[in-house]
Structure 1
Amino acid sequence: MDPKDLSQQLAQELPFLRRYARALTGGQGTGDRYAVATLEAIVADPGIIDAAASARVGLFQTFHGIWISAGAPVPDADDESLDLLEGRAQSRLKQLTPNTREALLLHSIEGFGFDAISQIMQLPQSEVEQLYALAMADMGQMVTGDILIIEDEAIISMDLQSIVTDMGHNVTAIARTRDDAIAKGKAKVPDLILADIQLADRSSGIDAVNALLRELGDRPVIFITAFPEQLLTGERPEPAFLISKPYAEEQVRAAVSQAMFFATTEQMQVPA
């Protein structure tokens, strides 16, 4: 593959590798360190990409090789370099069945088929499908909580409400503007925020979320947007959970399950 073409392809895929790495590790800092190590490995040996089915598969396969060779390490939750949510994430990572979250994220969030995931994880496709099924079963044992939806399109907000309530969560409110979101978030504090970026009055869902986090403290956020590149910039903070429009129900379920899994609070209840 021409080095220039490879560089362009990797640049296009890098934001999504970083998204995957953050969701996998539970934090931006840890995820980015693995993404950097992946790029360094490719620079040292570009041939590892040529051996893959595509540059995208090769990028994720290289990442996975580094991740596994390092033992998929989980930092100490008491590490002072971790923020509150990262600390919770690292603590809960230790409870997971190996390889299940990788299969879940690669399929549900990143959109890889099981054949591509088989190449990325270097496992038989049948085993990958079993891991995915196990991950979905594990997520069925997740905690439930209160969710604030910030979305100006009525059809989408109703769809999101239907998906998360079917999962056992409670939707505290649906907000269509920045000010509406702040007011409703403060009136009933959510455990998780599900937000679009551009709202009805041209206000910003990002601004609404940032204002709420300043008022309410750390809690997980999932952004759903037609323009993921606006959030995958490398600046901090950057969301670990980001779904592109148009989305599939499976993507929303996976992201909500992951976010709730990572950020259990005392207010959330474990289903009986």
Structure 2
Amino acid sequence: MTETHTTPDLAQAVGDELPFLRRYARALTGSQKTGDHYAAATLEALLVDQGDFRQDLGPRAALFRAFHRIWVSSGAPVEDEPGEGGAESQAQLRLSRLTPNTREALLLHSVEGFQTSEIAAILDVDREEASELLSIARREMSGDIRGRVMVIEDEAIIAMDITAIVESMGHSVTGNARTRNEAVALARKDPPDMILADIQLADKSSGIDAVKDILDEIGDVPVVFITAFPERLLTGERSEPAFLITKPYSEDQVLSAVSQAMFFTSTETLLNG
């Protein structure tokens, strides 16, 4: 195959959407390293053959479709990584029990905001099948793991909304903390199975630092971060959260992120920034 070079327009389009592809890839695999591996493979494939980039779909859907061609051809949705204690192996076992393509469809819709027709194009299925995949995903994910969730959020109305969504899924909420110190104290008093954290807190402290302190004390638990500025975190310059919800969020985004985070018993977070 003859090597080609990307056009400036294509390079710009891919560059603009790359942080969100990395977010999606990491949520899909539960690992920044594995997710970035697939994202990089997608870029390499596009450098060789721009025909994989469907211009008629729009830049974002076209990039995600190219990613899925790599993803499907690999046949390895989650990889074991040395030193991670087999967490990905446990996740792989749980994922193997789900209907194929359901998690992909749910993440594409709930977290990345794609419409059913776009999901169909990305996954290379018809629209009816894409719609059915979303329905199956919601049923399968809603019947999975239950746990105790801690909320770190400084805005009372948002905290109440998140709590209601989490409790509607069958999880219990240990409480809400507004600052880093409150969060650490709450976790010591009532250790959670999962954390859902805003990044900028009431006293200008950081939800990232609060989570780091908590995980240092209680060990790894799944984490979902919420931020109005995801592009500031999705830079590839340091460790990143596997599950990242963008404000303003939808109920579907919270449902999807919380359900999928529970699949992974160990979630890397922003600990080295």
**TM, length-normalised to structure 2:** 0.91
Q: Deviations over 1:109-167 (max 9, x none)?
A: 11000000111111000001001100000012111111110000011000000110111
1:59 aligned residue (51, 56, 63): 63
Residue in structure 2 matched with residue 169 of structure 1 by the alignment: 171
Q: Is 1:42 equivalent to 2:46 in the alignment?
A: yes
SS of 2:146 mapped into structure 1: coil
SS of 1:142 mapped into structure 2: coil
Alignment of 1:156-195 (within 5 A): 156-195=158-197
Q: Distance in 2 between matches of 1:256 and 1:170?
A: 12
The question of whether the paired residues in 2 share the 8 Å contact of 1:25 and 1:90 is answered with no
SS of 2:145 mapped into structure 1: coil
1:205 aligned residue (204, 207, 211): 207
Q: Distance in 1 between matches of 2:98 and 2:223?
A: 21
SS of 1:133 mapped into structure 2: helix
1:233 aligned residue (217, 235, 253): 235
Structure 1 235/217 Cα, relative in aligned 2: closer, same or farther at 3 Å? farther
The question of whether the paired residues in 2 share the 8 Å contact of 1:15 and 1:229 is answered with yes
Q: Distance in 2 between matches of 1:68 and 1:102?
A: 11
Residue in structure 2 matched with residue 107 of structure 1 by the alignment: 109
Shift of 1:229: 1.6
Shift of 1:47: 3.2
The aligned amino acid for 2:255 is: R
The question of whether the paired residues in 2 share the 8 Å contact of 1:74 and 1:94 is answered with no
Shift of 1:263: 2.7
Q: Distance in 2 between matches of 1:13 and 1:238?
A: 17
The aligned amino acid for 2:261 is: A
The aligned amino acid for 1:31 is: G
CA RMSD of aligned residues (A): 1.7
Q: Is 1:19 equivalent to 2:28 in the alignment?
A: no
SS of 2:196 mapped into structure 1: strand
Alignment of 1:134-153 (within 5 A): 134-153=136-155
Q: Distance in 1 between matches of 2:70 and 2:27?
A: 16
Q: Is 1:68 equivalent to 2:72 in the alignment?
A: yes
Name the stretch that deviates more: 235-244 or 124-133.
235-244
Name the stretch that deviates more: 23-32 or 115-124.
23-32
Name the stretch that deviates more: 246-255 or 82-91.
82-91
**TM, length-normalised to structure 1:** 0.91
Which runs of 5 or more residues in structure 2 are unaligned?
Answer: 1-5, 267-273
Structure 1 22/185 Cα, relative in aligned 2: closer, same or farther at 3 Å? same
SS of 2:100 mapped into structure 1: coil
Shift of 1:48: 2.5
Q: Distance in 2 between matches of 1:209 and 1:199?
A: 12
Residue in structure 2 matched with residue 270 of structure 1 by the alignment: none
Q: Distance in 2 between matches of 1:75 and 1:260?
A: 17
Q: Distance in 2 between matches of 1:48 and 1:13?
A: 16
Identity %: 57
The aligned amino acid for 2:254 is: V
Q: Distance in 1 between matches of 2:78 and 2:227?
A: 30
Shift of 1:197: 0.6
The question of whether the paired residues in 1 share the 8 Å contact of 2:28 and 2:77 is answered with no
Aligned length: 261
The question of whether the paired residues in 2 share the 8 Å contact of 1:85 and 1:218 is answered with no
Q: Distance in 2 between matches of 1:245 and 1:202?
A: 18
Q: Distance in 2 between matches of 1:212 and 1:41?
A: 40
Q: Distance in 1 between matches of 2:78 and 2:235?
A: 25
The question of whether the paired residues in 1 share the 8 Å contact of 2:145 and 2:262 is answered with yes
Residue in structure 2 matched with residue 224 of structure 1 by the alignment: 226
Which runs of 5 or more residues in structure 1 are unaligned?
Answer: 265-272
Shift of 1:50: 4.6
The aligned amino acid for 2:199 is: I
SS of 2:106 mapped into structure 1: helix
Q: Distance in 1 between matches of 2:250 and 2:223?
A: 18
Residue in structure 2 matched with residue 117 of structure 1 by the alignment: 119
Q: Distance in 1 between matches of 2:38 and 2:56?
A: 19
